[in-house]
Amino acid sequence: MIQAIGLTSNPRKDLPPVVDDVSFEAHAGRVTALLGTPGAGKTTALRLMLELQQGRGITYFRGRPLHRIAHPSREVGVLLGDVPGHPARTVRGQLRMLCAAAGVPVRRADEVLEVVGLVSLRDERLSTLSRGMDRRLGLACALLADPHTLVLDAPADGLSAREGRWLHGLLRAHATQGGTVLFTTDDPREAAQTADQVVTLEAGRLVADQEAADFARTRLRPRVAVRSPHAARLGALLAKEARTGQRSVEIVREDGNRLSVYGSTCADVGETAFRHGILVHQLADETGDMGAAPDTQPTAPPPRPAGSLESEDLSPLPPPISVRQAPSPLRPLRYELRRAAGVGTGYVTAAAVLIASALIAVILARIGHTPQHRLLAAWPQDFPLPPAALGAGLLGAVAFGDEFRHPALATDRGTVPRRLGLLTAKLLVSGATALLLAFLAVGCDLEVLYLVYGRELTQVPTDWLSLGAGWLGLLVGCAWAGVLAAGIFRSTTAGLAAVLAVPVVVVPLVQRALEGPSVRTAAGFATRLRELMLVQWPFGGERYLAAAARVVAQPVGSALMLSLTALLCAYLLTTLRSRVR
């Protein structure tokens, strides 16, 4: 069950809080509707419950607040607004990525797609989905981890009547199997016909918490819906007979040929139409809203008790799953691989980097006066970074896009991006991507230089070991700087700015700090380290260690190490602060 206690949003300047001291319960095995007009605070109340917005109060999901649940997506399935996913990702790719995030088998994606009726659209991109299909995908995301509780914000918004009945049947099926369902709506009739309990908000405050039957009796009233080509004449006759019989009857003329008659019955209206020879196309009992003008759309029959629902009215649910704990970084790594490979951003960026690198290498060779190692890296003297390093930094900076710009992890949004396991996975994937980009960039430059100028410009420098270590370290360091900065500032632009700040700002500071007679070099570091450990390095390992030491001792290497250390400390600080809150 859900227990919401004292939910209060932070006030906005001189305005009252959107939600003010709201408390209610939603029980397991029942469907609860949070009812209110637009602006009543329904969405804000849900965001406070899910700890996605700052405020006061607490919400317990089966006795535990959300931040105390190890894997929130397995306890609470959430749908807030549109489906939070990258527009270029496919429907199936989005669900498979979330399967890895939730630690459920990948076949679960196909199971929920079949349940929500999106199997034929599984290869469509999210940006091409209609409103109804978007709602179905959102429900599939909510059901993916087989949660006990469903929290849905206006799930039937924009759906047709048929899709709405399907949705309500699925919610009823979830509740019938022992789950808890809480959804928001601004339609009193939908709340009365679908829910077992109706919680009403008005201007951010709780005004009623009723059983659906009590709500229908106190807030709704019956009416007779009439359609006739002579609606105006029939309405006048009904009003005249009501005055004659001194009965309280209200007649509302609506668009077209439709009447809504309050305070009468189908029998009375039908007899009046028959006596006066008026043709009637529709005559039906409906339920109208007490506080507003009746809706012009026909409504479904009054709700039946939960126990009277027939089995064919219940939509099928995906089969239950057994989720195994995964303490290793395997699950975040699988998620990160599917996130990075699911959209074309990385491929387009890599292709652009390789093309730019090859063109710059050809131009530098044409101009001349460029050292061989810079020529192979396509790194002009006046440029702070080569194209490959900028590309690696950009790929690192977009690593946190799905968690912040397209928050695909639903209830895990406030916790998962700060987990060190996910950071480790992102660092591993971005580092491997940077290494691959480093080899491809040099290989493409060598091939293009050979094709254009021959073997003259494809000679490998004599100190290739230290230069290669520096080249790989530069690209990996740029990628990691982008990842850490994007995670701290939640912005791709900030991540790329941090990458550019290393050669432009940090390197001059390091050079200035290293100037003077007190400078010490790392010469002989490998030999002294070998003597300290009293072991022989196999396969000439001291050469590689000495090369790495020389790279770190350079201003660029020192600046990268300093920048990465500062960014990592800042990330850990924000992680600890978020956990304390």
Per-residue pLDDT reduced to its tens digit, 419-461:
788 899 999 999 999 999 999 999 999 999 999 998 888 888 8
Q: Helix or strand or coil: residue 8?
A: strand
Average pLDDT of the chain is: 83
**Tokens standing for residue 249:** 């009857």
Given strand 76-79, what is the order of strands in its sheet? 76-79, 149-152, 180-185, 31-35, 197-202, 205-211
Q: How far apart are CA 153 and CA 195, in angstroms?
A: 14
DSSP bridge partners of 25: 3
DSSP state, residue 416: G
Q: Helix or strand or coil: residue 4?
A: strand
Q: Kindly list the distances between the CA atom of residue 477 and the CA atoms of 332, 432, 435, 559, 567, in Å, as whole numbers in the listed order.
A: 21, 11, 10, 10, 11
Q: What are phi and psi of 253, to 5 degrees?
A: -85, 125
Find the mean pLDDT for residues 314-338.
69
**Tokens standing for residue 277:** 């020879």
Q: How far apart are CA 50 and CA 33, in angstroms?
A: 17
Are the C-beta atoms of 167 and 159 separated by less than 8 Å? yes
Q: What is the pLDDT of residue 205?
A: 94
Whether the per-residue pLDDT at 507 is higher than 60: the answer is: yes
Q: What is the DSSP string of 43-94?
A: HHHHHHHTT-S-EEEEEEETTB-GGG-SSHHHHEEEE-SS--S-TTSBHHHH
H helix intervals, 454-554 = 464-489, 492-501, 507-514, 525-533, 541-553
Residues 6+ apart with CB under 8 A from 286: 222, 223, 224, 225, 260, 294, 298, 299
Q: How far apart are CA 371 and CA 109, in angstroms?
A: 53
Q: What is the pLDDT of residue 518?
A: 55
DSSP bridge partners of 64: 61
Find the mean pLDDT for residues 322-327.
49
Whether the per-residue pLDDT at 203 is higher than 80: the answer is: yes
Q: Kindly list the distances between the CA atom of residue 365 and the CA atoms of 358, 360, 376, 445, in Å, as whole numbers in the listed order.
A: 11, 9, 10, 11
Q: Kindly list the distances between the CA atom of residue 53 and the CA atoms of 48, 85, 208, 367, in Å, as whole numbers in the listed order.
A: 5, 20, 24, 57
Q: Among 61-65, 404-408, 502-506, 533-537, name the one with the lowest average pLDDT.
A: 533-537
Percent of the chain with pLDDT over 70: 83
Q: What is the pLDDT of residue 289?
A: 55
Q: What is the pLDDT of residue 514?
A: 64
pLDDT-based confidence at 61, cuts 50/70/90? Answer: very high
The residue among 523 and 85 whose pLDDT is bigger is: 85
Residue owning tokens 């894997």: 71
Q: How many CB atoms lie within 10 A of CB 403?
A: 23
* Alpha carbon 158 to its chain's center: 20
The residue among 343 and 308 whose pLDDT is bigger is: 343
Find the mean pLDDT for residues 365-394.
91
Find the mean pLDDT for residues 403-431.
74
Q: What is the pLDDT of residue 327?
A: 45
Residue owning tokens 């100190």: 463
Q: Kindly list the distances between the CA atom of residue 116 and the CA atoms of 89, 106, 140, in Å, as whole numbers in the listed order.
A: 18, 17, 6
Whether the per-residue pLDDT at 410 is higher than 80: the answer is: no
pLDDT-based confidence at 472, cuts 50/70/90? Answer: very high
Q: What is the pLDDT of residue 527?
A: 56
Are the C-beta atoms of 471 and 437 separated by less than 8 Å? no
Q: What is the pLDDT of residue 223?
A: 82
Q: What is the pLDDT of residue 549?
A: 60
Which domains are assigned to the chain? 2-203 (3.40.50.300), 219-297 (3.30.70.980), 330-580 (no CATH)
Q: What is the pLDDT of residue 299?
A: 36
pLDDT-based confidence at 409, cuts 50/70/90? Answer: low
Residue owning tokens 């009501």: 242
Residues 6+ apart with CB under 8 A from 260: 223, 224, 225, 226, 251, 252, 254, 286, 288, 294
Residue owning tokens 């090859």: 358
Q: What is the pLDDT of residue 486?
A: 92
Q: What are phi and psi of 486, to 5 degrees?
A: -65, -35
Q: What is the pLDDT of residue 455?
A: 85
pLDDT in tens, 126-183: 999 988 898 899 999 999 889 999 999 999 887 888 888 889 999 999 999 999 999 9
43-80 burial by CB neighbour count: b if 16+ within 10 A, else e? bbbbbbbbbbbebebebbbeeeebeebebbbbbbbbbb
Q: Among 66-75, 126-135, 356-365, 414-423, name the one with the lowest average pLDDT.
A: 414-423
pLDDT-based confidence at 285, cuts 50/70/90? Answer: confident
The residue among 543 and 492 whose pLDDT is bigger is: 492
The CA-to-CA distance between both ends of the chain, in Å, stands at: 24
Q: Helix or strand or coil: residue 276?
A: coil
Residue owning tokens 């946190």: 400
Are the C-beta atoms of 102 and 144 separated by less than 8 Å? yes
- In 3D space, the residue among 522, 565, 519, 521 whose CA is nearest the CA of residue 545 turns out to be 522
Residues 6+ apart with CB under 8 A from 204: 9, 16, 17, 18, 19, 20, 22, 40, 41, 44
Percent of the chain with pLDDT over 90: 45
Q: What is the pLDDT of residue 69?
A: 84
Whether the per-residue pLDDT at 25 is higher than 50: the answer is: yes
Q: How far apart are CA 60 and CA 231, in angstroms?
A: 53
Angle 18-54-145 from CA coordinates, rounded to 5°: 105
Q: What is the pLDDT of residue 298?
A: 35
β-pair type (180-185, 258-262): unpaired
Q: What is the pLDDT of residue 254?
A: 80
pLDDT in tens, 519-562: 555 555 555 555 554 455 555 555 555 656 666 667 787 888 88
Q: What is the DSSP string of 321-377?
A: --PPP--STHHHHHHHHHHHHSSSHHHHHHHHHHHHHHHHHHHHHHH----HHHHHH
The residue among 33 and 12 whose pLDDT is bigger is: 33
Q: What is the pLDDT of residue 15?
A: 84
Find the mean pLDDT for residues 566-571.
92
Q: What is the pLDDT of residue 576?
A: 65
pLDDT in tens, 32-52: 999 999 999 999 999 999 888
Residue owning tokens 């990075």: 340
Q: How many CB atoms lie within 10 A of CB 431?
A: 19
Whether the per-residue pLDDT at 310 is higher than 50: the answer is: no
Q: What is the pLDDT of residue 311?
A: 38
Q: How far apart are CA 353 and CA 439, in angstroms?
A: 12
239-278 burial by CB neighbour count: b if 16+ within 10 A, else e? eebbeeeeeebebeebeebbbbbbebeeebbeebbeeeeb
